[in-house]
Amino acid sequence: MSAQIELRRLRTHFSISRGRVVKAVDGVDLEIQRGETFGLVGESGCGKSTLGRTVKGIHRPTAGEVIFEGRNTAKLTKAEARAFARRVQMIFQDPYASLNPRMVVRDIIGEGLEIHGIGTRTEQVEKVREIMELVGLNPEYQNRFPHEFSGGQRQRIAIARALVVNPELIVCDEPISALDVSIQGQIVNLLKSLQERIGLTYLFVAHNLSMVKYISDRVGVMYLGRLVEIAPKEELFANPLHPYTQALLSSVPIPDPKLEAARVEKTPEGELPSPIGSIEGCAFRSRCPFAQDKCRTMQPVLTEAASQHMVMCTLHGTPSDMG
């Protein structure tokens, strides 16, 4: 496999009142390989959705680079940027808000074909029918409006809209969190099936750790705009190294009642630091049960603690001295 997209020291900051800055993404290095599913997890507000939107191009990076197939997306020509917009698609969290209520399904799905000038009108009509069948929707319903569909069906419409322009990378921004539990598995299975048939690459952003483990090849854990751990999914779930990852995984329910009763949650104590302004040392130190004095002044860097297992913690690697 080769890296399809690479993030280099990526930062996405947002200015708010009186010159203050929210550091939503604050120095992320990441490679996503062609054909893999990279799962991205973390608490609400950690920056994972902003990272996904920056990859797609919805947000412009404040600093750093997004490299797609060897090209810096900030330096693309107009024609290249248009091609990038087609090749990288996005599935949004809320299927109730992401579909235009005034458009019928045929036009929602086919809009991308119109924008990118793909095919004749007859070919576009046939393509819409083909994609609807591919995602499990009855093409006979293409003249209906979004409100006539269930939440799961709406998300299938959103998936069809992303697929119709033949993308190579899809950013899935919490695509199942707004759906009933009974429907979530169906959508994840559909995404896996589509990946196998078409050869897609996914950046899969989610809260549901069980689903992330099921669909992902590798998993990254975000905390306050930084990736604090990256590993193959089996390795991460079996051997979490960062204290924050350990706390996240300890909250996952266990189906066995006896094991569930004996489970001990490692909920982080203390206040979550503000993403506004600068944080000296390790951002997790105020909530970490293993924090040491050096964690106040030294910023840990993402280091390979084991084969393909990266962690940002002074317990596993050499920190950079900021003091």
pLDDT tens digit string along 116-138? 999 999 999 999 999 999 999 99
Kindly compute the dihedral angle of the four CA atoms of residues 112, 116, 120, 124, in this order, to the nearest 10 degrees.
-20
Does residue 169 contact residue 87 with C-beta atoms inside 8 Å? yes
Please give the radius of gyration of the chain, using alpha carbons only, rounded to the nearest integer. Answer: 21
> What pLDDT, on a 0 to 100 scale, did the predictor assign at position 323?
38
Where does the pLDDT of residue 4 fall: very low under 50, low under 70, confident under 90, or very high at 90 and above?
Answer: very high
Helix (H, G, I), strand (E, B) or coil at 88: strand
On the question of pLDDT at 274 being above 90, the answer is no
> What pLDDT, on a 0 to 100 scale, did the predictor assign at position 254?
63
CB-based contacts of 78-81 (< 8 A; 24+ apart in sequence): 81/57
Give the CATH class of 3-250: alpha beta
Report the alpha-carbon distance of residue 101 to residue 9 in Å, rounded: 39
Residues 6+ apart with CB under 8 A from 77: none
> What pLDDT, on a 0 to 100 scale, did the predictor assign at position 132?
97
Looking at 142-275, list the stretches that DSSP marks H as alpha helix, in order from N- to C-terminal side. Answer: 151-163, 181-198, 209-215, 233-238, 243-250, 257-262
> What pLDDT, on a 0 to 100 scale, did the predictor assign at position 56?
96
pLDDT tens digit string along 222-260? 999 999 999 999 999 999 999 999 988 887 666 656 555
Please state, for a pLDDT cut of 90, what percent of the chain lies above it: 71
User: What pTM was computed for the model?
Assistant: 0.91
